[in-house]
Amino acid sequence: ILNVEQSPQSLHVQEGDSTNFTCSFPSSNFYALHWYRWETAKSPEALFVMTLNGDEKKKGRISATLNTKEGYSYLYIKGSQPEDSATYLCASLEYSGGGADGLTFGKGTHLIIQP
């Protein structure tokens, strides 16, 4: 079983500030890295699926980078807004040659944007 670590566990940020947090994962047998945004009482929402080393993806004010050789990904939020408050999950998918392709999740970073 993979070990996916996220830090920090929780984060309080002032509205308008930019922030970032980290996901680390085992780099052997890496297949893909997923980022999700999970608001309370809602379904986790897919943000990014990243597969290539050096990949950088952007969606509005949110962007993510990927380093598969050292096993980490950063998620950045520019100009935080109250609606960005959520738990951000990262999940790694290991290449298994046709076996299980369920995701291995970290515990998440709980982000609170303070007005």
Partner 1 sequence: EADIYQTPRYLVIGTGKKITLECSQTMGHDKMYWYQQDPGMELHLIHYSYGVNSTEKGDLSSESTVSRIRTEHFPLTLESARPSHTSQYLCASSAHEQYFGPGTRLTVT
Residues of the shown chain interacting with partner 1 in the complex, contacts defined by CB under 8 A: 1, 4, 34, 36, 41-44, 46, 49, 89, 91, 100-108
Closer residue to partner 1 (CB): 80 or 90: 90
* Distance in Å, CB of 105 to partner 1, minimum: 4
CB 27 within 8 A of CB 68: yes
Q: How far apart are CA 51 and CA 68, in angstroms?
A: 8
Provide φ and ψ at 95, rounded to 5°: -70, 125
Closer residue to partner 1 (CB): 34 or 80: 34
* Distance in Å, CB of 20 to partner 1, minimum: 21
Closer residue to partner 1 (CB): 21 or 36: 36
* Distance in Å, CB of 17 to partner 1, minimum: 27
* Distance in Å, CB of 48 to partner 1, minimum: 9
Provide φ and ψ at 29, rounded to 5°: 60, 25
CB 37 within 8 A of CB 45: yes
Half-sphere exposure of 102 (CA within 13 A, CB side): 5
Closer residue to partner 1 (CB): 13 or 103: 103
